[in-house]
Amino acid sequence: LLNVYKAVDVVQEKELFSMHENPHPDCLVGRNIQDSITPVLSAAQFAMEKELENVTIEDIAKDIVEKEKLKIQY
């Protein structure tokens, strides 16, 4: 799924989360939030991409078929 995610170009590299571009310079949080939160958001994106890397389209298709089989049984 990682290849699909990258192929459809949903977001640019390391830009899954967007941030306010023009924080007010007099705002304590606004002045510092990007430097503080960027490592956290980068780690979250990396974790998501690692998870996608471990799942194939075949895995998803099999899961759909299995779920459908369970519905038919009941």
Q: What is the pLDDT of residues 14-70, one digit of tens each?
A: 678 877 788 888 999 988 988 999 999 999 999 999 999 999 999 999 999 999 998
**Lookup result for tokens 């389209």:** 57
Chain center to CA of 47: 8
Q: Could you say which DSSP state residue 54 is in?
A: T
pTM value is 0.72
Return d(Cα 47, Cα 16) in angstroms, integer: 12
* Residue-number span of the structural domain to which 58 is assigned: 2-73
Domains held by the chain: number: 1
